[in-house]
Structure 1
Amino acid sequence: MSRLTLISHHLCPYVQRAAIALREKGVPFERVNIDLTDKPDWFLQISPLGKVPLLRIEDEEGGEAILFESSVICEYLEETQVGAALHPADPLSRARHRGWMEFGSSVLSDLWGYETATDVEQLEAKRKTLIAKFTTLEGALADGPYFSGSSFSLVDAVFAPIFRYFDVFDRLGDSGIFAGLERVRRWRSALGERRSVKDAVGEDYPRRLMEFLNKHKSILLGLPAAA
């Protein structure tokens, strides 16, 4: 059996995707967190883009391979590891799921702008963009509890880290982003209860995210609702 090491960062949502997939597959792995503001030399030597996650795969003969990009890592795990299927068997449904995974990446891009906004106008613009994205998702969701029904999939692994941000943001006030989106709200709740999702971050995740907001002088911390 190959030895798997997930090169990680405490907050990275892309790392969380891979960690969730590994746990859903029941695959033993080691997790090594690095400081992205002071990247070690050994990491830069094996990471073509200088980003996490990386999956180091070491075989019994001493060979080693490095995978980068969360979607590639998740697809590799789906193709090589036993355990519950995380993609639909039907090619058309599988392709559709891959499209929604990319949609999740676009939500993360908007979410970055939302959490790092330093003025009210910028925050409101990103808030409206996020509302539009989640409204689109509301129309795409099945009856639940997960993206396409009763089976947990890689689409769920992509969106669980997105919803986790709001577990912290909600403490600062109600953004109204999920208002009226009952399917999205139920989906968020179901993902938050999943063991693989809970275990994808450390107990210090909320503190670290608050430190991130402080570092970036996020307007979220200065709103009246945060008092």
Structure 2
Amino acid sequence: MLEKHSLELISFDICPYVQRSVILLKRKQVAFKLTFIDLENTPSWFNEISPLGKVPLLLVRKQETDQPIVLFESAAINEYIDAVTEPALRPHDPLERAHESAWIAVSSDLLMGLYTVMMSKDFQEVEEAESNLWDTLIHVEKQVNGGSSFSSRGFSLVDAAFAPFFMRMMMLKRLRSHENWLAMPKILSWARALLALPEVRESVVPQFKARYLEMLRAHESTVLLEID
């Protein structure tokens, strides 16, 4: 269905949300262009086409000379990619699809909580956000099938959504080595399996860690020295 379509993702270089789409496109071996912008100085063309002023965007052109159709919000972008490429990863059953969409929303909430842990200057705020992360992960543990993917059906959009969260979480030593993992063996096994996938390893820029540390320094992060 994408024979003549061109896909261009717009984001910044260490965005976890665009990473979800990069993972999916690489998983499905779909050609795409990735364009990075400076969020501190967004180009005028971006402001004109982004209704929320946020990334990622997916520009879909049916022909190279066509004006693009602009998709936004990573969940919607990945649903479109999955719908027009093979093999389809979303389940056919409406209830199962809704169930997966709900857990993708949980992954977004976890990413926001982790952002607070990583970027806040307030020790109490970091502590509260970290506690909330573990509380949410307890619920995730009950849903994971115990293998290398969220669902027993295999790799899904839920896996693509959670992988950027796990990648960043495992960079922080105290989270990576926390005793709470003893009560969450299924998530830990799942996270390790996801992070070993080529499409996940190759979904970030080569200088990802250096750029992430740069962002932590800019925010005067309290956890900067715990990143390895």
3-state DSSP of counterpart to 1:202: coil
Percent of residue pairs identical: 36
Which residue of structure 1 lines up, in the alignment, with residue 69 of structure 2? 65
The answer on 1:52 being equivalent to 2:55 is yes
Query: Given the superposition, is the C-alpha separation of residues 161 and 173 from structure 1 closer, same or farther in structure 2, using an over 3 Å criterion?
Result: closer
Instruction: Indicate the residue corresponding to 2:194 in structure 1.
Output: 191
* CA 179–120 in structure 1, closer or farther in 2 if over 3 Å, else same: farther
CA distance in 1, matches of 2:171, 2:59: 31
Determine helix, strand or coil for the equivalent of 1:72. Answer: helix
> Which residue of the partner structure matches residue 159 of structure 1?
162
Structure 1 residues 176 and 215, CA gap change in structure 2 (3 angstroms): farther
CA distance in 1, matches of 2:179, 2:22: 29
1:41 correspondence with 2:44: yes
8 Å Cα contact 1:3-1:58 kept in structure 2: yes
Contact 2:7 2:33 in 1 (8 A): yes
Contact 1:191 1:197 (C-alpha < 8 Å) held by counterparts: yes
What residue in structure 2 maps to residue 209 of structure 1? 212
Which residue does 2:7 correspond to in 1?
A: 4
The residue aligned with 2:172 is: 169
SS of 2:181's equivalent in the other structure is coil
Task: Calculate the TM-score normalised by the size of structure 2.
Answer: 0.91
Q: State the partner residue of 1:79.
A: 83
Deviation at 1:3, TM superposition (A): 1.0
- Matched residue SS, 1:178: helix
Alpha carbon RMSD of aligned pairs, Å?
2.0
Following the alignment from structure 2 to structure 1, what is the Cα–Cα distance between the partners of residues 33 and 101?
27
117 and 175 in structure 1: CA distance in 2 versus 1, 3 angstrom threshold: farther
* Residues 12-52 of structure 1 deviation map (CA, whole Å, 9 limit, x = unaligned): 11101111121122210011111111111111111111111
Shift of 1:172: 9.1
Q: 1:49 to 1:129 in 2, by over 3 A?
A: same
Residue 103 of structure 1 pairs with residue 87 of structure 2: no
1:97 partner amino acid:
E
Give the C-alpha shift of residue 116 in structure 1: 1.6
| Equivalent residue pairs, number | 224
Q: Look up the equivalent residue of 1:128 and give its one-letter code.
A: S
Distance in 2 of aligned mates of 1:140 and 1:174: 22
Q: Distance in 1 between matches of 2:224 and 2:180?
A: 17
AA at the equivalent of 1:124: E
